[in-house]
Amino acid sequence: MERKPLLLHCCCGPCSTSSIERLRELGYEPVLFFGNSNIYPPQEAQKRFLNLETVAKHFDLRIIHHEYNHKAWLKEVAGHETDPERGERCSICFAYNLKEAADEAVKQGIPYFTTTLTVSPHKSAPTIFSIGDTWDEFVAIDFKKKAGYQRSIELSRLLDLYRQDYCGCEFSRREKSPVEP
């Protein structure tokens, strides 16, 4: 069976694991995309990217590392620094990352894209889908369904992946809300 190419926005290695398995079950062949200019500090972004490289090697997938531009992301969320986790700042962040993924999919000639963000029980799939609906090429998949989150934990252990304890930005880090991974 020939799989359809799809660009997969990856927030981190752990969330990517079960998402890749599900996409392959659905007939897609993902190309991994790591932008995530929201992640702070830069060393944290690099650590997450290195773990995504481990995942890419395990699944024998291509990975695209987009330029890190935290200043541009901060400009995008300006005025929302004190929003609570899962508030408006998060929706703006989702839109920022999905736009980067959509643009990269077009640049690479990949007809579809989606995101691993929905594997987390702390992220609202309907919110992400509503933002993703901006693009016809967006494929709405709730990766936490069919025990996707639990499977991501199992695969993270198997691959000895780093699992962070905050979503990514300095604002979520301050709150230290229980955001996985």
The Cα 138–Cα 149 span in angstroms is: 21
Q: Rounded distance, CA 147 to CA 22, Å?
A: 11
pTM score, whole prediction: 0.94
What are the residue ranges spanned by the domains of the chain? Answer: 4-175
Confidence of residue 172 (pLDDT cuts 50, 70, 90): confident
Q: In this predicted model, what pLDDT tens digit does every residue of 105-137 receive, in sequence order?
A: 999 999 999 999 999 998 999 999 999 999 999
The tally of CA atoms less than 13 A away on the side-chain side of residue 12 is: 27
CATH class entry, domain 4-175:
alpha beta
Mean pLDDT of the chain: 94
